[in-house]
Structure 1
């Protein structure tokens, strides 16, 4: 089960996400379902089109399947998905 404490060790594809802060104003407010993830980017289906968002420039608000919301700075998750799940992270409380 995906929780705020173990979100880093899970797949992001399929989660709802919203960009809540960014160095670039054009990314703020983008929300939708994650359809792909690479080392440096997340691709989001907004319902109208797809947006490619650079991880290092934004703060994401993930909505977990249980409805909980988790805010994560993209710099923390900048890694290939298969490498990110092996990485050691400080636990969120």
Structure 2
């Protein structure tokens, strides 16, 4: 089960997300994650278009299945998904 404490250790594909840009203020996108690489996340936007968003410089607000919204800085996600799932993160 995905929770706010273990989100970074789970697969993101299929989750709803709202993306904003920390550097690029014009980036404002909502949709569902359909693919992920080391440096990007591909999102199917609400208008059924596919957008590729860089992880670095972006702020992601994930909506997990229980409806909770979790904000994560894209800079800490900039590793391969399979490595991110195995990695241990420091507790803040």
CA distance in 2, matches of 1:9, 1:58: 19
- TM value normalised by structure 2: 0.92
Gaps of 5+ in 2: none
> How far apart, in 1, do the equivalents of 2:83 and 2:32 lie?
22
Task: Give the TM-score taking structure 1 as reference length.
Answer: 0.91
Q: Which residue of 2 is the match for residue 70 of structure 1?
A: 70
1:30 lines up with 2:29 in the alignment: yes
Q: Aligned residue for 1:52?
A: 52
Contiguous gaps of at least 5 residues in structure 1: none
Q: Deviations over 1:32-68 (max 9, x none)?
A: 0000000000000013211100001101000000000
Secondary structure (helix, strand or coil) at the match of 1:2 reads coil
Matched with 2:3 is 3
Distance 2:86 2:71 in 1: 20
User: Following TM superposition, where does structure 1 have runs of at least 4 consecutive aligned residues deviating by more than 6 angstroms?
Assistant: none
How many residue pairs match? The answer is 91
Contact 1:60 1:73 in 2 (8 A): yes
| SS across alignment from 2:26 | helix
- Aligned-residue RMSD, C-alpha: 1.2
Structure with the higher fraction of residues in helix conformation: 1
